[in-house]
Amino acid sequence: MTTTRAGGRHGRPWRAAGAAVVVTMAMIGAGMIGAALKTTPPARPPQPLAQAGPTVSGPAVTATANPPADGQFAEGQPAGQGDVPAGLARSVPTSIEIPRIGVQATIMSLGTNPDGTVQVPPLEQADQAGWYEPGASPGETGNAVIVGHVDSAKLGPAVFFDLGALVPGDTMTVRRADGRPATFRVDSVASYPKTAFPTELVYGPSDRPGLRVVTCGGQFDQAAKSYQDNIVVFATLAG
């Protein structure tokens, strides 16, 4: 497993004991992939188009477009947008809809385990997504993070099996407990080796309302019983 260090909702440290939280991303290990319980996955999930990727330390990445740098956006603006709308008040997300890939799933709230690792949805609920509650809520100023399994031994393809098929301009709508849906437009989709997970791009602070959706992807490592990469969708709140 690889440990990553996360920041707070608006640049502050995560609410936890100690000077900082060292987050072991569970999706980097078997926690995010039910296929870890199988000899082989049911099929290889779709991968992002291999175009110019962002600059990160470690092995190379592939992406449909350059993800935003810390606090910034690809090409100076989110895909297909001018001014970015103001963030919404904080509210618990209840479901996520991604029309292009047929996702309509409920969202559970997640936190961290006693050892500091990020919680993920139970494998028996691999058809649901999970919101990282210590971060921003979807639509709130900052980067909200939603995670989900790519497949599971019991269900086969899981909630985010087709996540890598998204392209810039696609939309995702998150329903919220306050009744105000938050629709996001995809800026980019990238695949990162698990040894080069872009912690700051995903969990780092932002002065705009953004969404990061994360699952596993890449080649399935038969020996490790896990996928080698993480797929990350970067999106910005639409008007």
User: In this prediction, what percent of the chain has a pLDDT beyond 90?
Assistant: 51
Per mean pLDDT, which range of 37-46, 174-183, 197-206 is the poorest?
Answer: 37-46
Type of residue numbered 214? V
What mean pLDDT do residues 31-38 have? 44
Per the structure, the complete domain to which residue 50 belongs is given by 3-237
pLDDT at residue 88, as a whole number: 97
- Stronger pLDDT, 142 or 63, i.e. the higher one: 142
Type of residue numbered 87? G
Residue 188: DSSP 8-state: E
pLDDT at residue 139, as a whole number: 98
What mean pLDDT do residues 14-29 have? 36
Residues 6+ apart with CB under 8 A from 82: none
Instruction: Give per-residue pLDDT as tens, 50-88.
Output: 533 344 433 344 444 445 554 444 333 444 445 778 899
Q: Residue 166's domain is classified under what CATH number?
A: 2.40.260.10
Closest CA to 201 of 1, 6, 50: 6
| SS3 assignment, position 131 | strand
Q: Are 14 and 118 in contact (CB under 8 A)?
A: no
Instruction: Give per-residue pLDDT as tens, 157-171.
Output: 999 999 999 999 999
Q: Check pLDDT > 70 for residue 15.
A: no
Number of domains in the chain: 1
Distances (CA, A) of 69 to 27, 74, 105, 117, 223: 22, 7, 29, 25, 34
- Stronger pLDDT, 21 or 185, i.e. the higher one: 185
pLDDT at residue 42, as a whole number: 55
Instruction: Give per-residue pLDDT as tens, 181-200.
Output: 999 999 999 999 988 999 89
DSSP 42-106: SSPPP----BPPPP-SSS--EESSPPP-TT--GGGS-TT-SSPPPPPPP--EEEEEEGGGTEEEE
pLDDT at residue 45, as a whole number: 87
User: Model-level pTM?
Assistant: 0.77
- Stronger pLDDT, 107 or 25, i.e. the higher one: 107
* 89 token code pair: 């008040």
Instruction: Give per-residue pLDDT as tens, 210-234.
Output: 999 999 998 888 888 788 899 999 9
Q: Check pLDDT > 80 for residue 24.
A: no
pLDDT at residue 113, as a whole number: 87
Q: Check pLDDT > 50 for residue 172.
A: yes
Residues 6+ apart with CB under 8 A from 149: 32, 33, 34, 120, 121, 123, 126, 158, 159, 160, 215, 216
Q: Check pLDDT > 70 for residue 114.
A: yes
Type of residue numbered 199? T
pLDDT at residue 117, as a whole number: 74
Please list, residue by residue across 154-188, b when 16 or more beta carbons sit within 10 angstroms of its beta carbon and e when fewer do.
ebebbbbbbbbbbbbebbbbbbbeeeebbbbbbbb
